[in-house]
Amino acid sequence: SADPARCHALGLAALAQLQARRPGVEVTLLGLPEPEPRNPWDRPPEPPPAGMAALRGWEDWLARARLYSGATVGLCFAPGGPDEALFEMLCCGLPVVQARTALAGEGLSVLADPRPEALAEALAWLLEDAAAREAQAAAALRALDAMPGPVGQARQLEDWLLSLPS
């Protein structure tokens, strides 16, 4: 979305640096902002640089799963904490790089400083190291397996509410 919290400009800068470092690497952008800002105060999003394939909006879930399953590494921004896009990537076995934030899920992805060069370096490292990719994908699946499902989440919330002073 055009929401600045989705880090559109940071992601494009990181991917451009990755392509400069690794010429020939294929980049596909998914979930790009609409060409026009949603709000009058939003800046219009930058178009994707040359050499990056762009898929506007979210295709159906099966198309996303195929894209994630066929990719080598992913870059996802979820500064508010792990979100649907990150979980989909991880469930498809895609090792993911995220910008380090206070709410980034530990163990779910490779965390890098929120600077284009740091994100590009983390992506390049995963692209170059198949064992690291495999280890990161396996660690993420273990972390996902340890997360409570809806019933467990409801119990956690209930326990927390019952612990509050009356």
What's the pLDDT tens digit per position in 25-62?
A: 888 877 655 556 566 666 666 666 666 766 655 667 78
- Mean pLDDT for 102-116 is 85
Is the pLDDT confidence value at 86 over 80? yes
Per-residue pLDDT, 36? 60
Check if the beta carbon of residue 118 is closer than 8 Å to that of residue 112. Answer: yes
Cβ burial of 118 (10 Å; 0-12, 13-18, 19+) is: middle
- Mean pLDDT for 123-144 is 93
Per-residue pLDDT, 34? 58
Q: Report H helices in the chain.
A: 8-21, 61-70, 84-91, 116-128, 130-146, 150-163
Is the pLDDT confidence value at 120 over 60? yes
pTM: 0.77
Is the pLDDT confidence value at 87 over 70? yes
Per-residue pLDDT, 1? 36
Q: What is the mean pLDDT of the chain?
A: 82
Q: How far is CA 81 from CA 44, 59, 87, 104, 135, in A?
A: 25, 23, 11, 5, 22
> Which of 21-25, 101-105, 118-122 is predicted least confidently?
101-105
2 pLDDT band, cuts 50/70/90, is very low
Check if the beta carbon of residue 148 is closer than 8 Å to that of residue 104. Answer: no
Per-residue pLDDT, 73? 95
Check if the beta carbon of residue 81 is closer than 8 Å to that of residue 105. Answer: yes
